[in-house]
Structure 1
Amino acid sequence: MSATRYLPFAGRLLLGLPFAMSGFGKLAAYSATVGMITAVGLPLPPLAYAVAVAVELGGGLLLIAGYQTRYVAAALAIFSLATAFSFHNNFADQNQMIHFLKNVMITGGLLQIVAFGAGALSFDSRRNGNAVGSRQAAAA
């Protein structure tokens, strides 16, 4: 078996796990998270909290599993850019600039998944009946 069979799963795991862990962490820190959302001036902090938990925890787990991967990766990419601009926009602070650029880099990786699909080791691949992945199944 070639590395191309396993690398997409490794990429999804390395991108999805931090999202899932962050979402899970937010479940244990409702007040602190809502406070941070309030501090940056986003509307409806409790709703924003619920969306953040759903996107991070749910999206991270779905990305790892490779289920509806292109849609999930697109949603996580949008979320990553939104959080970069909403929470890490103080470019005078080097730490915030690093976090901003980290989110931009994560978005780039997620867009690769949007473009090329989940790969062979995924629910998407099993659902399409193709051992190579959803991108190749769509092209056939």
Structure 2
Amino acid sequence: MHSTSSNNTTALPLAGRILLAAIFVVSALGKIAAPEATQGYIASVGLPVPLLSYLASIVIELAGGILLLVGYRTRVVAAGLAVFSIVSALIFHHALGDQNQLFHYLKNLAMAGGLIQVVAYGAGAFSIDIKRQGRAPTFATR
């Protein structure tokens, strides 16, 4: 039986980071592909200076997603993305009587929950964070 009690012994944290990062990267690319529609949506919820919010969201989602993916300063990045996810849920998906908005609200909260797990347990073995600490991934052999 293999022991996987340490996140330095398994690729599972990497798989989790890939899945969490994907939604941020894809969302940023979608915003880049449709700048007018995105800024219109931002304006529709009453945020001032839609262009600034648009640009900030692209930077947060794209940079945060990539940093999470490669595991660089993972706990700080995951904490920032968790806050971003919660704030986005509250601003953009607060019409909870609308089933679609409720779904997106809960999705954002679930993403924040996964990101909080990354904050708690770190990036795992296959990350820049581990390399920066001078440690290589170790694998359990029992």
* Same fold at TM > 0.5: yes
Are 1:35 and 2:70 counterparts? no
Percent same amino acid at aligned positions?
A: 52
Query: In structure 2, what is the equivalent of residue 82 of structure 1?
Result: 87
Q: When you count helix as a share of all residues, which structure comes out higher?
A: 1
Query: In structure 2, what is the equivalent of residue 65 of structure 1?
Result: 70
Q: Any idea what the Cα deviations from partners look like across 1:32-86, whole Å, max 9, x if unmatched?
A: 1100000001121111001100011111111000011111101110110011001
Q: Any idea what the Cα deviations from partners look like across 1:85-128, whole Å, max 9, x if unmatched?
A: 01110011011111101110110000011111100000001001
Instruction: State the alpha-carbon separation in 2 of the partners of residues 10 and 117 from structure 1.
Output: 13
**How many Å apart are 1:131 and its aligned residue?**
3.3
Unaligned segments of structure 1, at least 5 residues: 134-140
Query: In structure 2, what is the equivalent of residue 136 of structure 1?
Result: none
Higher relative contact order (CA 8 A, sep 6+): 2
TM-score (norm 1): 0.90
Query: In structure 1, what is the equivalent of residue 110 of structure 2?
Result: 105
**How many Å apart are 1:130 and its aligned residue?**
2.2
Unaligned segments of structure 2, at least 5 residues: none
- Structure 1 residues 44 and 15: CA distance shift in structure 2, 3 A: same
Query: In structure 1, what is the equivalent of residue 97 of structure 2?
Result: 92
Larger Rg: 2
SS at the partner of 2:54? helix
Are 1:19 and 2:50 counterparts? no
Which runs of 4 or more aligned residues in structure 1 lie more than 4 Å from their structure 2 counterparts after TM superposition? 1-4
**How many Å apart are 1:24 and its aligned residue?**
1.2
